[in-house]
Amino acid sequence: MQRIGVFICHCGSNIAATVDVERVTEALAKEPGVVYAVNYQYMCSENGQQLIKNAIAEHRLTGIVVCSCSPRMHEATFRKTAEAAGLNAYMVEIANIREQCSWIHKDIEEATEKAIVLARTAVAKILLDKPLTAGETGVTKRALVIGGGIAGIQAALDIADAGYEVDIVEKRPTIGGRMAQLDKTFPTLDCSACILTPKMVDCAQSDKINIFSYSEVEEVKGFVGNFDVKIRKKARHVDETKCTGCGVCMASCPSKKGLNEFNMNLNNRPAIYIPFAQAIPNVAIIDPEQCLKLKSDKCGLCQRKCGVGAIDYKQEDSFVERKYGAIVVATGFRPIKLDNFNEFGYADNKDVVTSLELERLMNAAGPTKGTLLRPSDGKHPKVITFIQCVGSRDVSGCGKPYCSKICCMYTAKHAMLIREKYPDTEVHVFYIDIRTPGKNYDEFYRRAVEQYGVDYIKGMVGKVYNENGKLMVQGSDLLDNKQIVIPSDLVVLATAIEPDPSVRDIATKLTISIDTNDFLTEAHAKLRPVESPTAGVFLAGVCQGPKDVPETVSQASACASKVIGLLAKDKLKGNPCVSHVDENMCTGCSQCEQVCPYGAITYIDKEFRIGGGKTETRRVASVNPAVCQGCGACTVTCPSGAMDLYGFSSAQILKEVEAICKR
Amino acid sequence: MQEITTTHKPLIVAFCCNWCSYAGADLAGSSRLSYPAEVKIIRVPCSCRVNPIFVLKAFQRGADGVILCGCHPGDCHYSTGNYHTRRRMALMFSMLNYFGIEKERTRIEWVSAAEGAKFSQVMNDFAKTINELGENRRLEDLRCKK
Amino acid sequence: MSDIFTVENIKRISGTDVRKCMKCGKCSGRCPAFDDMDIKPHQFVTMLGQGRVEELLSSKAIFNCLSCMACVERCPRGVAPANVIEAVRDTVERMQGGDAIKAEDIPAIVDELIPQQLLMSAFRKYKK
Amino acid sequence: MKFSYYPGCTLKTQAKDLDRYARLSAAALGVDMEEIKEWQCCGAVYPLAKDEIGVKLSAVRALDYAKHEDGLLLTLCSACHNVIKRVNDDMRNDADINLRANNYLALDEKYNGETKVVHYLEMLRDYVGFDNIKKAVKNPIKKKIGAYYGCLLLRPGKVMAFDNPENPTIIEDFITAIGGTPVKYPFRNECCGAYVKLVNPDLTERKSKKVLENAKENGAEIVITACPLCYYNLKQTPCEDMEVVYFTELLAEALGVKD
């Protein structure tokens, strides 16, 4: 039998001026189950709390109802009070008679009546409250970072800096990601490699960071603080522990037809290769599509040449299973395919390139050693035309509806660098809008125009075609209301970016959500921008939305601080107001599993006694309280009524409805 | 228009999700934006916690109107909860309409934590509508009224 | 004629939502008849949105549009400038005396090889 | 293989060759082209205005006819193909046009876009197969041939679904199949100037000239087309050493059935 105490707060005159607290006290004292009712000036004050504690002891209360301000204000306070008095913290209900009553009503009669109803409703609810204990789980003090681009690198370094172990899983043979492919970075124009490669080296040298390159996440189980992850280390046919990265194998390889992915396929590489000079790990890898030994068992030259015996043609994929407390997703982006944009002639003309290809063409480590030469004939282009928004802001179904955000800035960068290095080159930029918000960004773009004389044309290109060896760029000049044709030597397309396609698979494995453009969804667009809706999983970089390097680094560091905050805890206290299942009623229909946004519900086969000494095995739902966030979606979806929510049970809410509807 | 009988005090049950609408109601309160006292709020973690049975129960016990408030679509604290609510309640309300509960007696509104003014305006408007519709007896179970 | 009815009617029969236009100018960048148009394809969309039908109705461009659909094909926003141009042309031709060619002019223009398709097209495009 | 065939007006008069060689070639390839009865002019241009129903009806009649045959309507003239394909799309996706057309025609059974509209080139690609044509070729056309697509076969791309509207390959593949060397040139999907010929011949002549010059610059000796209007406009344009022929004529020649 419950013994409930009701505590009515005056909140100075905030409540007492409109609500007749004495009448409320009298009325509530007569409620069934209520053994004590009292009013006081400030319940939340030291004295008020002491009053509650004393009453709990004196009247052997099993639960308390505080009629005061919003539970969003002082619920936590009164829970602590109750706990200090030896009561379970969840045997507390708040009747909001300030925000929902005294503050919005003027008539004392009306307000008092309503306050009584609200207090009764809270009593009706508390009579069915049960003591709840928040579960505790341990935390594995290690983080997993999926993706080894600048986002992953920065997050890993920051986490390692706080003293925690971090593993980076990178699907390519080296970390570095897209930033490693860039030539210079805006708005300062420092060399991308110069600022990135030291960070890559730091990763390699840190005793806290472990890099799984050429590896992929195979399977993820568990929950916040306790993820079990299986990692597939793809066979690179080179023993990482032995290879010194000397490069002798590359020189000896007779197969030279492989397309150099790092250089955006603009030149070739051997079948055994190190992606680029500063690769981390600096270890060779064999491309099985190109290797003569692996394809037809001929050759074997590299094995003979290798001084340390690192080549292993028989190597197979291997698996590593590790535990992690937190996961950072940083899977990055790629430029979209241009199949739907043949009006720009990308498929038919070698000298129509994407911006990322131009980065390689301008990079000292690129296929042209940093001299800007056009791919078709290796000549210096004299007229270069840039086209912005290729595939961005396109709702026709051919491209992407969003703004890719980085193109305005990198196009200004390219234009500027070209004019700086080759002042005799004419540079035109077709733009729809110039979007350069950010510190020193618009100034940067203006410099391209004012200092470097880049010709910006407001308008869009309709067709690019080859005529007598010139690329004719036909577009509109809207400010002049003319259609113009610019005979160019090189055309650069500011291609839209999209999340790396691997993100879909990762999202499924981590039960995190993805939007219609395949960007990962954050827990709250404004206030929790680096957290995924799944506890313990964090987002960094373009996988969450288009962003440039500085923004990516900020987000990665923010991610790291969230991870550190999580790993710093020894125990994670859960929210006890979670779902639970009545196994006797559960039919194992899976509907709750489908609506759960957190993947908190799994199915187990369980043995049940069915009388006569017999048992039967049934499939029933099982809620992981550490993962459940307590939204209650499953409770309503469940067709058999087996699902219920602690703290907000169906029976409680029905009682509240009844209390309100009692005339 | 018929004169509304003054003896009947309408009863309105409002289910508010903890993260947006309940906070919106708090903001309405702290901004002193009044709405009729017949509106009584029940706090739920998410609008998707509202079982159609709760709505039926309210009408069975003589409620004159039931309103659900949740986060704006796309802003749900639990990502997708209010999408379930939206679909589920569209069906529920049309069924109630079929039973004779005028569709104006049920409503679903999206109120964010910043929309105190909207909360008050929605509640005023809803209460006005309910007042105009008058007493609802269609699903009331008189056995409960001893 | 610049009444709201005409504007709305042109919008309706064009089947195009001119508000979707983001003013990139790709339609005009691609138009093969651009030099022969006094009002350019992108202007048709903008001006219809602004309700400036009087200027559109007196435009010569409506008779030079080739209906080649290049503008419709490339529009990144799903706007159809050609439909707007045709809607304006239809509006003109549906008014008395709006025909751009008359049946009695035909014998003077045709040669022996002219395909029926051309005559049919021209009648459909230039006559009520 | 049987198709209901919609020839259209021009193919009965000025473009008899286009039609005749198509029939001869089809017979050689084992394709049965059955001309639909009492067909009416398609209207030559698809009316873009949403309130034009009357001029779409003849297309619906032809489509409905084919529906009751084998459900495949074969077209040859680009203009007819464009009109009929787009009207068919309206009947499938535009409820208003569907309702009004059906109300007007009062057919025994409503027509809802069930028929599949197939262009002769699509028939060659998807039903006969270019590989089989290659096998049937007796006199390979060993020339450099430029495909002229024009507008009507390709655009609007989403409705016509004929080929990639900016980088089509079907006619090039056809050229390869009949033993020729396809010449890809950028203006192959540009407008020839079309019906504007009657009111602004200068514009049309400039457009056609550009197409032919562009084809020539890229090395084409012949330009082939499927459209009588393009054919006329290109033929009217003076361009030295450039032949313009219907694609069916080359097909018939390659198959050895040209009389």
Q: What is the ipTM of this complex?
A: 0.79
Quote the tokens at residue A24: 């409320």
Q: Is D160 helix (H, G, I), strand (E, B) or coil?
A: helix
The reply to whether residue D196 touches residue C63, judged by beta carbons under 8 angstroms, is yes
How many CB pairs below 8 A link A and C? 69
- In this predicted structure, the answer to whether residue B5 has a pLDDT above a threshold of 70 is no
> Where along chain D do the CATH 3.40.50.1860 domains lie?
130-255
* CB-closest option in C29, C31, C78 to A459: C29
Which pLDDT band holds residue A87 (cuts at 50, 70, 90)?
very high
Q: Is A322 in the same domain as A194? A: yes
Q: Is A378 in the same domain as A518? A: no
Percent pLDDT > 90 in chain A is 90
Q: What is the pLDDT of residues B73-91, one digit of tens each?
A: 877 888 789 999 999 999 9
Q: How far is D85 from chain C (nearest CA, A)?
A: 15
- What are phi and psi for residue C5, nearest 5 degrees? -60, -45
Radius of gyration of chain D measured on its C-alpha atoms: 18
Contacts of C73 in chain D (CB under 8 A): 154-157, 165-166
Domain tally, chain A:
5
List the one residue out of B126, B141, B144 whose CA is nearest residue B11. B126
Check whether the bond before A281 is cis (ω within 30° of 0).
yes
Distance CA D124, CA D148 (A): 17
Cα-to-chain-centroid distance, residue B68: 4
Q: What is the pLDDT of residues A400-452, one digit of tens each?
A: 999 999 999 999 999 999 999 999 999 999 999 999 999 999 999 999 999 99
Distance CA A115, CA A100 (A): 9
Distance CA A595, CA A621 (A): 13
Q: Most C CBs within 10 Å: which of A341, A342, A393, A396, as the mutation test of the C interface?
A: A396
* CB-closest option in D164, D214, D217 to A342: D164
Which pLDDT band holds residue B6 (cuts at 50, 70, 90)?
low
Contacts of D236 in chain C (CB under 8 A): 113
Overall average pLDDT of the C96-106 stretch: 83
Percent pLDDT > 70 in chain A is 100
- Nearest residue of D to residue C75, measured between CA atoms: D156
Please tell me which chains touch B, using 3 or more CB pairs under 8 Å as the contact test.
A
Q: Is A29 helix (H, G, I), strand (E, B) or coil?
A: helix
* A131 is a domain residue: no
**Per-residue tens of pLDDT for chain D, all 259 residues:** 899 999 999 999 999 999 999 999 999 999 999 999 989 999 999 999 999 998 999 999 999 999 999 999 999 999 999 999 999 999 999 999 999 999 999 999 999 999 999 999 999 999 999 999 999 999 999 999 999 999 999 999 999 999 999 999 999 999 999 999 999 999 999 999 999 999 999 999 999 999 999 999 999 999 999 999 999 999 999 888 899 999 999 999 999 998 7
Q: Most D CBs within 10 Å: which of C31, C117, C127, as the mutation test of the D interface?
A: C117
Please tell me which chains touch A, using 3 or more CB pairs under 8 Å as the contact test.
B, C, D
Number of other residues whose CB lies within 10 A of the CB of residue A328 = 30
The reply to whether residue A597 touches residue B49, judged by beta carbons under 8 angstroms, is no
User: Could you tell me the CATH number of the domain that includes residue A18?
Assistant: 3.40.50
Q: Is A342 in the same domain as A487? A: yes
The predicted structure's pLDDT at residue A103: 95
* CB-closest option in A347, A466, A468 to D167: A347
- Nearest residue of B to residue A639, measured between CA atoms: B51
Q: Is A484 in the same domain as A588? A: no
* CB-closest option in C20, C43, C74 to A462: C74
Check whether the bond before A381 is cis (ω within 30° of 0).
no
Q: Tell me the CATH class for D130-255.
A: alpha beta
Q: Is A401 in the same domain as A432? A: yes
| CA distances from residue A643 to A446, A592, B96 in whole angstroms, order as listed | 61, 8, 25
**Amino acid at the residue A537:** V
The predicted structure's pLDDT at residue B1: 45
Kindly list the domain boundaries of chain C, sorted by start residue: 4-95, 100-128
The reply to whether residue A348 touches residue D167, judged by beta carbons under 8 angstroms, is yes
How many CB pairs below 8 A link C and D? 132
Q: Most B CBs within 10 Å: which of A656, A657, A658, as the mutation test of the B interface?
A: A657
Q: Is A199 helix (H, G, I), strand (E, B) or coil?
A: helix
Domains assigned to chain B? 12-141 (3.40.50)
> Where along chain D do the CATH 1.20.1050.140 domains lie?
2-120
Name, in order, each residue with C-beta under 8 angstroms of A242's C-beta and a sequence gap of 6 or more: A308, A309, A310
List the one residue out of B139, B141, B124, B146 whose CA is nearest residue B12. B124
The predicted structure's pLDDT at residue C1: 47
CA angle A603, A608, A612 (to 5 degrees): 160
Element (H, E) at A223: strand A215-223
To the nearest whole number, what is the mean pLDDT of chain A? Answer: 95
The reply to whether residue D14 touches residue C67, judged by beta carbons under 8 angstroms, is no
Contacts of C31 in chain A (CB under 8 A): 462, 483
The reply to whether residue D196 touches residue C66, judged by beta carbons under 8 angstroms, is yes
The reply to whether residue C121 touches residue D45, judged by beta carbons under 8 angstroms, is yes
Contacts of A637 in chain B (CB under 8 A): 84
Contacts of C69 in chain D (CB under 8 A): 151, 155-156
Cβ-count burial of A196 within 10 angstroms (0-12 exposed, 13-18 middle, 19+ buried)? buried
Q: Most C CBs within 10 Å: which of A336, A483, A491, as the mutation test of the C interface?
A: A483
- Nearest residue of A to residue C35, measured between CA atoms: A483
DSSP conformation class of A528: B
- In this predicted structure, the answer to whether residue B145 has a pLDDT above a threshold of 90 is no
Q: What is the pTM of this model?
A: 0.81
- Burial of C66-98, coded b for 16+ CB within 10 Å and e otherwise, reads bbbbbbbbbbbbbbbbbbbbbbbbbbbbeeeee
Overall average pLDDT of the A609-626 stretch: 90
Q: Which CATH architecture has domain D2-120?
A: Up-down Bundle (1.20)
Which range marks the domain in which residue A155 is found?
142-233+318-332+500-567
Distance CA A327, CA A227 (A): 8
Distance CA A179, CA A181 (A): 5
CA dihedral D85, D88, D94, D98 (to 10 degrees): 150
List the one residue out of C37, C90, D205, D210 whose CA is nearest residue C27. C37
Contacts of D18 in chain C (CB under 8 A): none
Contacts of A390 in chain D (CB under 8 A): none
Contact with chain D for residue C8, Cβ under 8 A? no
- Nearest residue of A to residue C71, measured between CA atoms: A462
Q: How far is C104 from chain A (nearest CA, A)?
A: 36
Quote the tokens at residue A99: 């925000």
Which pLDDT band holds residue A523 (cuts at 50, 70, 90)?
confident
The reply to whether residue A432 touches residue C25, judged by beta carbons under 8 angstroms, is yes
Radius of gyration of chain A measured on its C-alpha atoms: 33
Chain C stretch 65-124, residues whose beta carbon is closer than 8 A to a beta carbon of chain D: 66-70, 72-73, 80, 82-83, 86-87, 90, 100-101, 109, 113-122, 124
The reply to whether residue A475 touches residue C29, judged by beta carbons under 8 angstroms, is yes
Q: Is A20 in the same domain as A72? A: yes
Using a CB–CB cut-off of 8 Å, the residues of D that contact C are: 8-10, 13-15, 41, 43-45, 47-52, 55, 77, 79, 151, 154-157, 165-166, 190-191, 193-200, 203, 207, 227-229, 231-232, 235-236
Q: What is the pLDDT of residues B110-119, one digit of tens each?
A: 998 888 899 9
Q: What is the pLDDT of residues A427-438, one digit of tens each?
A: 999 999 999 999
Contact with chain A for residue C32, Cβ under 8 A? no
Do D and B count as touching (3 or more CB pairs closer than 8 A)? no
Contacts of B77 in chain A (CB under 8 A): 524, 631
Name, in order, each residue with C-beta under 8 angstroms of B95's C-beta and a sequence gap of 6 or more: none
The reply to whether residue C67 touches residue D45, judged by beta carbons under 8 angstroms, is yes
* CB-closest option in D156, D157, D229 to C118: D229
Q: Is A157 in the same domain as A187? A: yes
CATH of domain C4-95: 1.10.1060.10
